Amino acid sequence: VVKIILSGYTAYPLIPNDPRLPHIAEKLNAQIHKTALDAEMLVPFEYIEFPPLTSLKDAGYRIVGLEQADRSIELQNYTAPTKIALLIGEEVNGIEQSLLDQCEDIIEIPMVGQKESFNVSVATGIALYGLSI
């Protein structure tokens, strides 16, 4: 992982000239710090409210969505390219269709049992690990 781009209403650590209200930014920063156990600044990140996927494609990244879809490939059957931008949707509704349409590949984590999906943070961890091995 070279860089994480956070978008939408995803919480993120304090940044220089943080646009959020100070009490909100500090509260979120404290929660992230507690959960990350001091690791939140080990990987560079950037917050962009609406990141343009075309600029990532132009930079040579393959846009890959993590979503259950008709054209998705199971994670264990996917060979990750060297430069990948993994798009992860929100908890309940997943990736918006307009963004999913821009994905060059879509991967999914196969499910066993009665549940249809993982919590988004768990799914992200599984996908990042699976793509790295």
Record the pTM.
Answer: 0.83
Q: What is the pLDDT of residue 117?
A: 86
Q: What is the pLDDT of residue 20?
A: 94
Q: What is the pLDDT of residue 21?
A: 96
Q: What is the pLDDT of residue 27?
A: 97
Give me the average pLDDT of each 10-residue run along the chain (133 residues). 84 92 96 91 88 90 96 97 93 92 97 89 95 89
H or E segment to which residue 22 belongs: helix 22-36
Task: Give all domains of the chain, ordered by start, each with its CATH number.
Answer: 4-46 (no CATH), 53-132 (3.40.1280.10)
Report whether 99 contacts 65 (CB < 8 A): yes
